Structure formats: structure tokens, C-alpha cells
Homo-oligomer: A and B are copies of this chain.
């Protein structure tokens, strides 16, 4: 079994086990057992469970940073908000299981909460969605749009809904929350 392949399979197994048993409830031994390899084979790739968590979530966090950068670079509030909503919906729907882990696993929240860079990923999107950051109603609507998208994409009661329907309805409703006008085709 090639080493790169093992690493990929290991991360996929860890992601499933974290979702099933929580981060705190998953041991390196359980990951090894799931793959049918020895614990030493897991150690070859990752020294600690924290290292595995980093490798599992870092690609999604990097995507989130890129989406925010892209949105912030747009001209005008409406274009920035449109990009933010579209990118955030795309990300949350693609990572439905990971969002559950990020938003509701106390062990993960604790690990993330200690990093400044993560707090940034929560506050910057709120600013992108508000025209006047002093206006309480705008701040409330920005919070509603982002929390509604993240919570609903990862809702255990909506796992039967297909990704395309989820994506379309989250985007339309996110835009409706913010009062963005429907763009004319051209």
C-alpha cells in the first residue's frame, strides 16, 4: 500500500470516526483498526490525534480563507455579499459532515478556539455581509444568513436532501435574508 494512499485513507477514516464518536471519543487505535493497519502505521503519518484533526480540517479552513479573500476583493457591497454567500454555501454543502464536527464537537471547538486565525474566519464574513458595521439590524441579518446556512447544511434532519437542492435553496434564502436583489441575466 503506497504511503500517500495510506495517508488519504487514514484521514477519511478519521473523519468518519470523529463524526460517529466525536473527536475526544476517537483513539489512534480505533483509526488503525478501521483501516486494518497497525497503530505503528498510523504513527508513521501522524504523531498525535491533534495532528490528524489539523489535517482533516485544514483544507476546508484554507478554502474558507480563499472564499473570504475573494469576496473582500469584489467591487461594491452587493458583489461582495453575493460572492460570500455563494462561496459559503458551496463550501458548507461540500463539507456537510465536517461542518457538524466544527460546529458541535466540544473537543474540536476547544482545539480551534485557541487559534487566533479561526476567530478571524468567524468575524470577517460578518463584515463582508454588512454595508454599515454599526447598524445592528444589518449585523443581525449577516449573523442570521451565515448561521442559517451552516446549521441547515449540516442538520441531521436533512441528510436525505440532495446537494443540488440544498445548494440552491440555501443560496436563494441567504440572498433573501440579506435583501440582495435578483441579478438580471445578461
**A residues engaging B (CB < 8 A)?**
106, 122-123, 126, 136-137, 139-141, 143-145, 147-149, 151-152, 155, 157-158, 161-162, 165-166, 168-170, 173, 176-177, 179
Please give, as numbers and ranges, the residues of chain B lying within 8 Å of A136 by CB-CB distance.
158, 161-162, 165-166, 169
Given contacts A136-B165, A139-B157, A144-B152, 13 further A-B contacts (CB under 8 A): A137-B165, A139-B161, A140-B161, A140-B166, A140-B169, A141-B169, A141-B173, A143-B148, A143-B152, A143-B157, A144-B173, A173-B177, A176-B177
In the complex, how many angstroms separate the beta carbon of A133 from the nearest chain B beta carbon?
Answer: 11
Cβ A158 vs Cβ B173 within 8 A: no
In the complex, how many angstroms separate the beta carbon of A158 from the nearest chain B beta carbon?
Answer: 6
A-B contact pairs, 25 of them (CB 8 A): A123-B157, A126-B157, A136-B158, A136-B169, A137-B165, A139-B157, A139-B158, A139-B161, A140-B152, A140-B158, A140-B165, A143-B151, A143-B152, A143-B157, A143-B158, A144-B149, A144-B170, A145-B148, A147-B147, A147-B148, A147-B151, A147-B152, A148-B148, A151-B151, A176-B177
Residue of B nearest to A126 (CB): B157
Please give, as numbers and ranges, the residues of chain B lying within 8 Å of A147 by CB-CB distance.
147-148, 151-152, 155
In the complex, how many angstroms separate the beta carbon of A159 from the nearest chain B beta carbon?
Answer: 11
Which of the listed residues A144, A158, A165 has the most CB atoms from chain B within 10 Å of its own CB?
Answer: A144
In the complex, how many angstroms separate the beta carbon of A174 from the nearest chain B beta carbon?
Answer: 8
